[in-house]
Each structure stands twice: as structure tokens, then as C-alpha cells.
Structure 1
Amino acid sequence: MGGIYSGGEGDEWGIKPDIQEAQKWYGQAAEQGDSDAQIALGKIYYSGATGRTDYAKALALFTQVENDGTNSRSTMPLSWMYYNGLGTAPDCDKAWSYYKKASRYVGKKVEEKIFLSKCAADIQSRKNNADAYPK
């Protein structure tokens, strides 16, 4: 049902997109352990599609899917969140670990040394320019 309300899938039945309703249905399915719903709900929280981001909730959902080992689509969002410190403190080693795992599925590959160096430089840049980034 979440997919029907999130947009696209409900068109054939005349159901208009309603992200709040999608969030409700994804939430119910996520509570039952549906990894696709957990990822979809995590993306809603991550993107702020309802008008407010909640990186901590997104991180928790993606982490739950990762820990359950039921869906590989959680690894790249986790890498990005640890890389950028979204919902958690930045952690280049964790970001690399998730990136390395995700790269098996997405085909993009970066050397560990380059990834870690870029991550550390980006963290320092964000610290140096903290006023320029959204709170």
C-alpha cells in the first residue's frame, strides 16, 4: 500500500500520491519486518518528503535492514550517512565498510586510500565551514 500512495503505482486505480499515507503504510509494514518497507520509510525520513528530515530514524531503519541481512539496498545509504555525518557522527571507516560492501552491487569502485582521504578532507571542510551548512 505504501508504494501505491508514494506515487506512480496508484495511478492505474486513480489514487493520488499522498506521502503521509504512504508513510503510514510503510511504517506498518516496516514494523512487521518488511525490508523493502523499511528502506522506503528510511528514504522518506532521509529525504524529508513529508516536510521534515529525520536522519536518526532513517539511519535506524537502514541499520536494521543491514543487520537483518535481508536487503542489500541499505548499504549505500548507510555509507553516505556515515560519510556525511547524517543522523550520526561522521565515521570514515564505517562509511568505507558500507561503501565496499555496496560496490559489489552497484559496480562503482574507489580505492580505499582515496575514499578515506576524501572522507577525512570533507569532514574537515565541513568543520571549517560549519556556518555554511544547513543545521
Structure 2
Amino acid sequence: MRFESILLPLATVAVGVDALGINCRGSANCMLYGANVSKDMVNLLNGVDPNRWYNNGQQIACVTRPSDAGAICAFFQNTGGWQGQKAKELAHYITEHGCLACGSVPTGFPGSNDVAQGELTFNYVSNPCTGFSEGSRRC
């Protein structure tokens, strides 16, 4: 009986991880960036070329802050890549979900909340796209 009472909560946690879907998870550094980063990112992504192709993991846009070599960047994960239009379509869902800086949304959202098909992610990176110092930039 005791063995079952331990396994059930562990199984529930394992299922929850697989079914994460839209979320506000990210690096611990995300909290250092304040409350407007996801909104700033949505504004940046609204200006990307809708026809430009972004490979899996390729930074689309980044928001920097003073005294930090890193940045919060938007990029696709677990995909074969997508056009900029897909980033524009998905970005606002991260903000609307209540994410202040970092988060992810499945590429099939809102029809599918399954990240197995890939996701658009806002997260901290230590090596953001180059060519800018403080501020925000499309990569």
C-alpha cells in the first residue's frame, strides 16, 4: 500500500511534464528582466519579415538589459523551423497566458496544446544575436 502511495504522485508528475503545453517556464535569469519583456518581445516579433525562415533554435529577436551580456530571445524549438509569420501568430499567447518574461507556446496552439509538434519560446540566452548593445533587436 505504501509503495502505491509513492508511485501515484510520481506518475502524475511525469504526465504533467509530458503535457506541459503553453507555459511560463524559463531560466532563473528571466526574473531579472522585469515585467514588460514578453510585451516588448511581441512588439518586436510583430515587425519581423513574415516570409523569412527561422531554423530550429535560431534567434528571431532579443530583448537586452544593461550590464548583462545575455538577453531574452525568441526562437523555435523542436521544429524543422518556421517562417516569421508563425512567430507573429503565436507570440501574443505567451503574454496572454500571463508570462512576464519567459515562456513557450506550442506551434499548433490554440488548436493543439502539444509541444511535441514544436514550440515558440522566449528564454534567456547567454549569447544573443550580435549587432546591438542595450535595448531590443530583431536578429
Q: Normalising TM by the smaller chain, what interval?
A: under 0.3
Whichever structure has more helix as a proportion of its residues is: 1
* Relative contact order higher in (CA < 8 Å, ≥ 6 apart): 2
| TM-score, normalization by structure 1 | 0.22
Whichever structure has more strand as a proportion of its residues is: 2
